[in-house]
A = this chain, B = another copy of it.
Amino acid sequence: MSELLVYRNGELVPDSQAAISIHDGGFLLGDSVYEAVRTFRFVPFHLEPHLDRLWRSLTYARIDPGMRRQDLHEAVMLTLEANRPLLEDDVWLYIYITRGRFVNNVQYYLPATAEERRPTVIIFCRPLPFAAFARGYEHGVHAVIPPSRHLPPQCLDPKLKTGSRMHLVLAEFEARMVDPEAWSLILDIHGNLTENKSGNVFLVKDGALYTPAADGILAGITRATVLELAGRLGIPAYERTLQAYHALTADEAFFTSTGYCIMPITRINKVVIGDGRPGLITRRLLKAWGETVGVDLMEQARRHLR
């Protein structure tokens, strides 16, 4: 075995042969839902909340996965185990579910009737970009507010973790106009901070945490974990509407996401945040996270630098 294996509708296939039909709605129409889980010491972290959210996505998107949740849980574990021999460090585990191949009908490529349709379920793992994480933990990243706006919930709810994500890709390109290394920090149509393709955002001001309320964002499981951690550490934390003003005048700021967990932000729109280095509370949370999962996040990432 020299190649990662991908779970596809019940079978394990080598990554290089893991492909989907061009007639799959996941490709033609971005008609898919997914989850990205990461491991700590090769154990999936918070797999249950991820499957909870996946099931909410399936319900909302009216996709029948064709399998029970317990079966999917087992398929995830099976995929991880099958790949374990090849894994040198922790990984991402992706689960994608689509409505399957689309049948040609009067309205062109609408999902066929339930009978004709067979959902596509894909599970695969990917190495985490630890070297990049290490640089970010050390220096922080540059967040840039792009001119485009995030989707309103009444259009396509950001709480739905769907594969239709081109708007999020384009927001990254817009942020990179300012700085090729920048990460986007997207506003909603009212000018409130939301999130970006990779995660949620937190601000620190006068010793308290602030993060956008969970309406027009994909309220992350990492975000929830940070709120919990803050509670345990006695750091006051508030979910509320926030604007660019709050971001630019914050004492500290960071993104949260499944992969990197907590990523310090040290510049926003070219304005230096705090003293330009990852903030005290940010680092405290990052450390506390590591203690919780038994992995020193910064140390693990640093090992991958050269």
**Chain B residues whose CB sits within 8 angstroms of the CB of A96 once the complex forms:** 22, 27-28
In the bound complex, do residue B154 and residue A155 qualify as a contact, i.e. CB atoms below 8 Å apart?
Answer: no
Query: Are A169 and B6 neighbours in the complex by a CB distance under 8 Å?
Result: no
In the complex, the answer to whether A165 meets B167 with C-beta atoms within 8 Å is: no
Which residues of chain A in 167-192 are interfacial with respect to chain B, using CB atoms and an 8 Å cutoff? 167-170, 172-174, 177-178, 183, 187, 189-192
Of A54-62, A68-76, A82-90, A283-291, the stretch lying at the interface with chain B is A54-62
A271 CB, min distance to chain B CBs, angstroms: 6
CA distance A196 to B6 in the complex (A): 35
Contact indicator B165/A155 (Cβ below 8 Å): no
Provide the residues of chain B in CB contact with A140, threshold 8 Å. none
Q: Can you tell how many copies of this chain the complex includes? A: 6
**Residues of chain B within 8 A of A25, CB atoms compared:** 169
Q: Tell me which residues across on chain B come within 8 A of A163, comparing CB atoms.
A: 27-30, 164, 166
The one of B22, B111, B173 in contact with A19, judged by C-beta atoms closer than 8 angstroms, is B22
Among B168, B169, B189, the residue within 8 A (CB) of A152 is B189
Q: Look across to chain B and name the residue whose beta carbon is closest to the beta carbon of A168.
A: B29
A side interface size, CB within 8 A: 96
**Complex Cα distance A109/B106, Å?**
35
Decide yes or no whether A122 CB sits under 8 A from chain B. yes
A60-B248, A152-B152, A155-B151 given; A92·B108 CB < 8 A: yes
**Chain B residues, Cβ within 8 Å of A240:** 213
Q: A225-253: which residues lie under 8 A (CB-CB) from chain B?
A: 240-241, 243-245, 248-249
- A148 CA to B154 CA in the complex, in Å? 5
Q: How far is the CA of A271 from the CA of B244 in the complex (A)?
A: 26
What is the minimal beta-carbon distance from A82 to any residue of chain B, in angstroms?
16
Distance between Cα atoms of A5 and B160 in the complex (Å): 35
User: Does A254 touch B at the CB level, under 8 Å?
Assistant: no
Look across to chain B and name the residue whose beta carbon is closest to the beta carbon of A110.
Answer: B172
Beyond A106-B132, A149-B152, list 9 extra A-B contacts (CB 8 Å). Answer: A20-B20, A28-B165, A106-B129, A106-B260, A147-B187, A147-B244, A154-B243, A155-B167, A155-B191
- Minimum-distance CB pairs A-B, first 4: A154-B191, A30-B30, A106-B132, A19-B19
